[in-house]
């Protein structure tokens, strides 16, 4: 199964401007990223939940603890049980710790986002190409310099630079993810069938309204 991900990265310092726009319409899944070496970036995650839910509904959200390679050097600065409490309290899909430097769980993060979007499939415009091909708009959000751009670039381009470059506004990269049918939960295909049926019904209703408006 082929899933095309449009991967968006919002500059952390500009997030509130985007929360006030229609940018969040059509987002299928979100990765909320914090820096495992900076507790303040974890605490600030709470500021995102209400805005995302308000703008995009109850879409899948995955909490991402990035820069796990630093834990060996500086030790654990954010107790794992506190992180799990936040995941459970906010009804998040999963918690994944990543390291771009050591290439730990980077592919897993985006494959999980793709699968989460697929299991939450809705007849949104443009998402369903056919029963074996989908397109999803996925967002990474979080404070500045937590590694959102690095995660996306590592996944898409298999590249990583130690030179920090501040994201101004929005960055967008696109990549295809292939999921083997045998690795998908059993309910996946029923979800796809129902979404395609609902999508066809919606298209018929739109065309009917268009005909009426032309009369």
Is a pLDDT exceeding 60 seen at residue 206?
no
Please report, for the chain, how many H helices and E strands are present, in that order.
Answer: 8, 7
- Among 37-51, 58-72, 125-139, 192-206, the range scoring the smallest mean pLDDT is 192-206
pLDDT number for residue 170: 63
pLDDT number for residue 214: 59
Q: Which of 60, 69, 63 is nearest to 82 (CA)?
A: 63
Share of residues in the chain with pLDDT > 70 (%): 80
| Cα angle 163-166-172, degrees, rounded to a multiple of 5 | 105
User: In the predicted model, what is the mean pLDDT of residues 3-23?
Assistant: 69
Q: How many domains are contained in the chain?
A: 1
SS3 for 32-53, per residue? EEEECCCHHHHHCCHHHHHHHH
Q: How far apart are CA 89 and CA 206, in angstroms?
A: 39
Q: How far apart are CA 109 and CA 95, in angstroms?
A: 9
Q: How confident is the model at residue 202 (pLDDT cuts 50, 70, 90)?
A: low
With beta carbons less than 8 A apart as the criterion, state whether 123 and 198 touch.
yes
- Residue linked to tokens 């979100």: 30
pLDDT number for residue 195: 80
Share of residues in the chain with pLDDT > 90 (%): 46
pLDDT, tens digit, 9 for 90 and up, residues 60-107: 999 999 999 998 888 889 999 999 999 999 999 999 999 999 999 999
pLDDT, tens digit, 9 for 90 and up, residues 131-174: 788 999 999 988 888 999 999 999 999 887 666 555 545 678 99
Q: CA 22: distance to chain centroid?
A: 17
Q: Which domain holds residue 30?
A: 2-214
- Residue, of 192 and 112, whose pLDDT is higher: 112
| Inter-helix orientation angle 148-157/106-119, to 10° | 90
Question: What is the distance between the terminal CA atoms of the chain, rounded to a whole angstrom?
Answer: 42
Q: Give the CATH number for residue 26.
A: 3.40.50.300
pLDDT mean across residues, the chain = 83
- Residue, of 145 and 42, whose pLDDT is higher: 42
Q: How far apart are CA 192 and CA 85, in angstroms?
A: 32
- Among 118-127, 143-152, 202-211, the range scoring the smallest mean pLDDT is 202-211
């Amino acid at each position: 199964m082929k899933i095309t991900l449009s991967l968006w990265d919002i500059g952390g310092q500009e997030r509130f401007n985007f929360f006030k726009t229609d940018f969040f319409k059509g987002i299928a899944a979100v990765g909320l990223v914090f820096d495992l070496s900076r507790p303040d970036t974890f605490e600030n995650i709470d500021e995102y939940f209400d805005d995302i839910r308000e703008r995009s509904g109850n879409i899948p959200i995955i909490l991402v603890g990035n820069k796990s390679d630093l834990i060996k050097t500086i030790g654990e600065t954010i107790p794992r049980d506190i992180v799990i409490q936040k995941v459970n309290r906010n009804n998040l899909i999963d918690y994944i710790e990543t390291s771009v430097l050591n290439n730990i769980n980077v592919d897993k993060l985006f494959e999980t986002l793709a699968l989460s979007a697929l299991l939450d499939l809705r007849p949104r415009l443009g998402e369903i190409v056919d029963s074996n091909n989908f397109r999803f708009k996925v967002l990474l959000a979080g404070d500045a310099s937590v590694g959102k751009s690095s995660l996306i670039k590592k996944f898409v381009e298999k590249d990583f630079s130690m030179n920090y470059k501040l994201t101004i506004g929005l960055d967008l990269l696109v990549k295809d993810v292939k999921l083997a049918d045998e690795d998908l939960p059993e309910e996946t295909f029923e979800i796809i069938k129902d979404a395609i049926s609902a999508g066809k019904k919606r298209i018929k209703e739109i065309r009917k309204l268009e005909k009426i408006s032309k009369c």
